[in-house]
Structures are given as structure tokens and as C-alpha cells.
Amino acid sequence: MSKKGENIYKRKDKRWEARYIKAYHPDGTPKYGYCYGKTYREAKQKVTQAKTALLTEKPIATTSRKRRFAFYCDEWLRINRNRIKESTYVKYSGIIEKHIKPKLGGCLVQSLTSLIVEQFSHDLLYEEALSPKTVKDILTMLHSVIKYTSRQFPDPLPIIEIAYPKVPKNEMRVMSVEEQTRFVKYLLEDMDECKFGVLLALVTGMRIGEVCALRWENVSIKEQTIKVKTTMQRLQNLDGNGNAKTKVVISGPKSDTSVRMIPLTEYAVNLCKTIFCSNPSAFVLTGEIDRFIEPRTMQYKLERYTAKCGLEGIHFHTLRHTFATRCVEVDFEIKSLSEILGHSSPQITLERYVHSSMELKRSNMNKLTAIGF
């Protein structure tokens, strides 16, 4: 029997049940919450905490303190699934399953400390030999999961300080004018669909996935423009449908600013005319609706092409950086270049994509002769 007005009862299984109103249905009827305890005192303590949590809008501490960190990693991932792109979700899922859960998933949340996270970071750097950039990305995501986890407890958890590794600035490989000229000459000889795709990326600065996903409906020969609105990626298949471990996905590009209109030069327009297809739904690289060339194939082809030209250290993003460098060398306005590349700000273009060639540096140094230097 319950004490008057407390709604605390002893059940047939000998446990004590405490009931409280936690919300109301649209018709005004109460929606109840329940707390259980081995004793009357335990049930009353839990229901008091639950009522207080409702008043202070803090989460209710039930079995949270007994749950391992892996539980909150999975919960954080589920909550964010509909907020992020599929490619980002696959990336996050991979980081959690491959790195965070194996090392930290078994820890009780209260036992996580700055020292444990520091050891985790050290192991990633020196045992798994991951790059500082990769480790920084993993730690940034870990910070988000820890921040989410701390909000699930009514009492403050220990503050965890994360020391991020210093990421060295690597100079991106950019083709010289001589290398570019030699490479373009090779691509134009017996040009096929893959060679065209490589050349198109070089003269527009488009990303590899954007080139592969491009359809003729987004290319205007008359207006001399390309509308970038999709990208293609091969992602891990997390759905479990079929036997394939990966799948090709065509979706919106990298960011909102990546949806853009690129004006074409006469050279680029004439290049497009050589393989023009009247079917607007066809992929540009194949001229067919149902057949495409995926980024992985394009990257393999590029490796073969550069090897035959005697060029080393070149991948698809090198073409994008080379395009940006050529633009800067002819005094291209940075704001316009930033928009053509699909960057969110000119600062990103300046910091990551503007590479001065020795020829440009020498040309600028020669300007000092005007003042006697």
C-alpha cells in the first residue's frame, strides 16, 4: 500500500514502484513515469530525483552511470544521422567502430580522464601510425561525443582536456607550366572519356566526384557554363543490403557553396563539343544514362597517364591546385576564383590553393629593380 499522496507501491515481485507525472497528452490526460527500487527509500529517492530533473530541465539519472562509453557513442551517432550527409555519417561510423570504441568503449563514463584520452591520442599517433591530421579529426569527433555524453548526467562529469597534435602544413604538389603542357599534349592524343574527364578537371578546377557525377543537362554549350550540383562517391555499405561492402552514391556536393556555376573558356567549350551528347540525362563522361565512371576508376587512370608522362606525386586534387595556381599567375580576382572552386570564403582559397611558382616569385622579385634593388 502506498503512503498518502506519494504513489509509491510495493509490487508482487517485492520491488517498490514510484509513479510521477512527467508530461501530459494532447487531450490533457497525464503521462506517467516510473521509478523502481529494492526498498521504499530507494524508490522514493529516485522519484524525487526524477521530479527535480523535470523542474530543472536536467536529464534523469537512472542507469546512466552503469553504461559504458560505447553506448553513448552509438546514441550520439543515431541522433546525428539525419543531420549530416550520408558520406559524413559513414566517416563518423568508421571512426567510432575502428578507433574510439575498441580503445575507450568499455570505459565507464565517470572513469574517463584527460590522461586516458592523452594515451588514446598517443596510441593513434605511434602505435597505429596515423597522420596528425587524422588523429586530430578523431579527437575532434571524440570531443563532440564527450560533450553530448556529459549532458545526459544530472551532475557534472570530470572536465576532460584534449591536447590536439600539431598538424604540419604540407605543400601541395602543383604541376609546372612545362609539366602541364606535356601532360595536356598526352591527354589530347587519342582522347577517350577518361582522358576527357582529367582534362576537364584541369581546366575548370572541379573535384573528381563532381566530374564523375556531371550530366549533360548541367552543361550549356550555348551559355558556356557548367552547373555543379552533384558529386559521386564510393562509400561503405552500412545498410547490410546484399553482399557488397561498398556502394556508389550520387548526392549533393561537399557543401552549400560547392553548388555553383562555372563559366567556361572557349578552350573548355570546344573540348566539350568533341564528346557532346544530345541526351540531357546522360553522364558527360560516358554519354549514357545508366553507365558512369566512378572516381576510383578515374584515379587509377590518372596514375597510368602521369606515369606514361614521367610525372610523379600527382593525384586528382593536384589538378585542382594546378588550376588555382594558373589562375593566380594571370592575376585572377580571388573572390571570383573562390566561388568557381566552391569555397565558403576567399581566405580558404588563399591559404590552401594559392601556390606561387618559382617563375611568379622571380617575376615579382624583378619588380624591385624599379627601386634599385
What's the per-residue H, E or C state across the chain?
CCCCCCCEEECCCCCEEEEEEEEECCCCCEEEEEEEECCHHHHHHHHHHHHHHHHHCCCCCCCHHHCEHHHHHHHHHHHHHHHCCHHHHHHHHHHHHHHHHHHHCCCEHHHCCHHHHHHHHHHHHHCCCCCHHHHHHHHHHHHHHHHHHHCCCCCCCCCCCCCCCCCCCCCCCCCCHHHHHHHHHHHHCCCCHHHHHHHHHHHHCCCHHHHHHCEHHHEECCCCEEEECCEEEEEECCCCCCCCCEEEEEECCCCHHHCEEEECCHHHHHHHHCCCCCCCCCECCCCCCCCCCCHHHHHHHHHHHHHHCCCCCCCHHHHHHHHHHHHHHCCCCHHHHHHHHCCCCHHHHHHHHCCCCHHHHHHHHHHHHHHCC
**Interval 105-151: pLDDT, tens:** 988 888 889 999 999 999 999 999 999 999 999 999 999 999 999 98
pLDDT at position 264, please? 95
- Within the chain, which residues score under 70 in pLDDT? 1-5, 24-28, 55-66, 240-243, 353-360, 373
Residue 347: its pLDDT value, please? 84
Name the grid cell of 16: 517498490
pLDDT of residue 62: 47
Question: Quick one: 177-364 is in which CATH superfamily?
Answer: Intergrase catalytic core (1.10.443.10)
Domain ranges (residues) in the chain? 8-62, 66-150, 177-364
Q: 66-150: which CATH topology?
A: DNA polymerase; domain 1 (1.10.150)
Residue 314: predicted pLDDT = 93
The residues pairing with 246 across neighbouring beta strands, listed in sequence order, are: 236
